[in-house]
Amino acid sequence: AVYSDADARALHVLEADQAVHIGPASLAESYLNIEAIIEAAIESDADALHPGYGLLSENPDLADACENAGIIFIGPSAEAMRSMGDKSVARKLVGKHGVPTIRGYEGKEQAPAALAKRAAKIGYPVMIKASAGGGGRGMRLVEDKAQFEKAAESARSEAERSFGDGRLILERAIRGGRHVEVQVLGDEHGGLVHLGERDCSVQRRHQKVIEESPSPAVDDELRGRMTEAALAVARAVDYTSAGTVEFMLDADGEFYFLEMNTRLQVEHGVTELRTGLDIVRRQIAIARGEKLPFAQDDIEFEGHAMECRIYAEDPLRGYAPSPGRIDRFDVPQGEGIRNDVGTYAGDEITTDYDPMMAKVLTWGRDRDQAIERMQYALSNYRVGGVRTNLPLLRAVLWDPVFRTGGATTSFLDEELVPGTLAMAVTPHVLIAAFGFCLISGRDADPWLALGPLRAGGAARVNIKHGDRVYAVEGQRVAGSSNKWRVKAGNFRERTVRFAVAPGSHMVLEEADETTPLHVRWVESGGMEVNLGGSRYSLSLAGLERLRTESTRRQHGLTAPMPALVLKVLVRPGQVVRSRETLIVLEAMKMEHAIEAPYDGTVKDVHVKEGSRVKEGTVLIELEQDGA
User: What digits encode the pLDDT tens for the residues 71-91?
Assistant: 999 999 999 999 998 888 898
State the Cα angle at 339 between 334 and 345, rounded to 5°: 105
Q: Where are the alpha helices (DSSP H) in 10-137?
A: 11-15, 34-43, 60-68, 78-85, 87-96, 112-122
Given a contact cutoff of 8 angstroms between Cβ atoms, the answer to whether 549 and 555 are in contact is no
Confidence class of residue 159 from pLDDT cuts 50, 70 and 90? confident
Please report the pLDDT score of residue 450 as a whole number: 34
Percent of all residues in the chain with a pLDDT value above 70, rounded to a whole number = 90
Please report the pLDDT score of residue 142 as a whole number: 92
Confidence class of residue 93 from pLDDT cuts 50, 70 and 90? very high
Confidence class of residue 533 from pLDDT cuts 50, 70 and 90? low
What residues contact 557, with CB distance under 8 A and at least 6 apart?
Answer: 582, 583, 594, 596, 597, 618, 619, 620, 621, 622
Q: Which residue has the higher pLDDT, 150 or 179?
A: 179
> % helix / strand / coil in the chain, to the nearest 5?
30, 35, 40
Top CATH class, 178-421 = alpha beta
Q: Which residue has the higher pLDDT, 395 or 98?
A: 98
Cα separation, 329 vs 346, whole angstroms: 9
Mean pLDDT throughout 22-40? Answer: 96
Given a contact cutoff of 8 angstroms between Cβ atoms, the answer to whether 218 and 197 are in contact is yes
Q: Measured in whole angstroms, how far is the alpha carbon of residue 467 from the centre of its chain?
A: 29
Confidence class of residue 529 from pLDDT cuts 50, 70 and 90? confident
- Which CATH code fits 553-624? 2.40.50.100
Q: Where are the alpha helices (DSSP H) in 267-423?
A: 268-275, 279-287, 367-379, 390-398, 400-403
Q: Which residue has the higher pLDDT, 303 or 143?
A: 303
Q: Which of 604, 595, 592, 606 is nearest to 563 (CA)?
A: 592
Cα separation, 551 vs 521, whole angstroms: 14
Q: Reduced to 3 states, what is the DSSP secondary structure of residue 344? A: coil
Dihedral, 524, 526, 530, 535 alpha carbons, nearest 10: -70
Cα separation, 418 vs 468, whole angstroms: 17
Mean pLDDT throughout 480-506? Answer: 77
Given a contact cutoff of 8 angstroms between Cβ atoms, the answer to whether 541 and 466 are in contact is no
Given a contact cutoff of 8 angstroms between Cβ atoms, the answer to whether 334 and 377 are in contact is yes
Q: HSE-up of 493 (CA within 13 Å, CB side)?
A: 9
Superfamily of structural domain 103-172: ATP-grasp fold, A domain (3.30.1490.20)
Residue range 295-309, pLDDT digits in tens = 999 999 999 999 999
444 has pLDDT over 60: no
Mean pLDDT throughout 218-244? Answer: 98
Tell me how crowded residue 71 is: count the other CB atoms within 10 A of its CB: 17
Please report the pLDDT score of residue 553 as a whole number: 36
What residues contact 575, with CB distance under 8 A and at least 6 apart?
Answer: 599, 600, 601, 602
Cα separation, 532 vs 389, whole angstroms: 11
Please report the pLDDT score of residue 423 as a whole number: 58
Q: In what order do the strands lie in the sheet with 255-261?
A: 255-261, 241-249, 178-186, 192-204, 207-213, 304-311, 356-364, 337-341
Q: Which of 66, 155, 37 is nearest to 584 (CA)?
A: 155
- Which CATH code fits 2-81? 3.40.50.20
Residue range 194-216, pLDDT digits in tens = 999 999 999 988 899 999 999 99
| Same-fold call for 103-172 versus 427-540 | no
Please report the pLDDT score of residue 2 as a whole number: 97
Mean pLDDT throughout 593-617? Answer: 89
Confidence class of residue 412 from pLDDT cuts 50, 70 and 90? confident
Mean pLDDT throughout 377-399? Answer: 89
Cis omega before residue 315 (within 30°)? Answer: no
Distances in Å between the Cα of 161 and the Cα atoms of 130, 164, 373, 561, 566 are: 11, 6, 39, 20, 11
**H/E element holding 162?**
helix 145-163
Residue 156: DSSP 8-state: H
Question: DSSP string spanning 189-207?
Answer: TS-EEEEEEEEEEEEETTE
- Burial, 569: exposed, middle or buried (Cβ in 10 Å; 0-12, 13-18, 19+)? middle
Residue-range domain boundaries for the chain:
2-81, 103-172, 178-421, 427-540, 553-624
Confidence class of residue 248 from pLDDT cuts 50, 70 and 90? very high
- In this prediction the pTM is 0.74
Confidence class of residue 457 from pLDDT cuts 50, 70 and 90? low
Compute φ and ψ for 549, nearest 5 degrees. Answer: -60, -35
Amino acid at 450: L
Confidence class of residue 544 from pLDDT cuts 50, 70 and 90? very low
Cα separation, 259 vs 88, whole angstroms: 10
Please report the pLDDT score of residue 590 as a whole number: 75
Mean pLDDT throughout 332-352? Answer: 95
Q: Which residue has the higher pLDDT, 483 or 406?
A: 406
Cα separation, 351 vs 562, whole angstroms: 7
- 612-613 and 590-595: which strand pairing? unpaired
Q: Which of 240, 233, 289, 285 is nearest to 263 (CA)?
A: 240
**CATH 3.40.605.10 for the 427-540 domain, yes or no:** no
592 has pLDDT over 90: no
Given a contact cutoff of 8 angstroms between Cβ atoms, the answer to whether 582 and 594 are in contact is yes
Mean pLDDT throughout 80-109? Answer: 91
Please report the pLDDT score of residue 545 as a whole number: 30
17 has pLDDT over 80: yes
Confidence class of residue 409 from pLDDT cuts 50, 70 and 90? very high
Q: Which residues are catalytic?
A: 263
Confidence class of residue 542 from pLDDT cuts 50, 70 and 90? very low
Confidence class of residue 519 from pLDDT cuts 50, 70 and 90? confident
Q: Which residue has the higher pLDDT, 480 or 226?
A: 226
Please report the pLDDT score of residue 135 as a whole number: 66
**Per-chain mean pLDDT for the chain:** 87
621 has pLDDT over 50: yes
Sign, CA torsion 406/409/410/413: positive
Cα separation, 422 vs 466, whole angstroms: 8
Cα separation, 81 vs 540, whole angstroms: 58
Please report the pLDDT score of residue 619 as a whole number: 93
Please report the pLDDT score of residue 514 as a whole number: 75
498 has pLDDT over 90: no
Residue range 553-572, pLDDT digits in tens = 346 788 877 889 999 999 99
Please report the pLDDT score of residue 549 as a whole number: 29
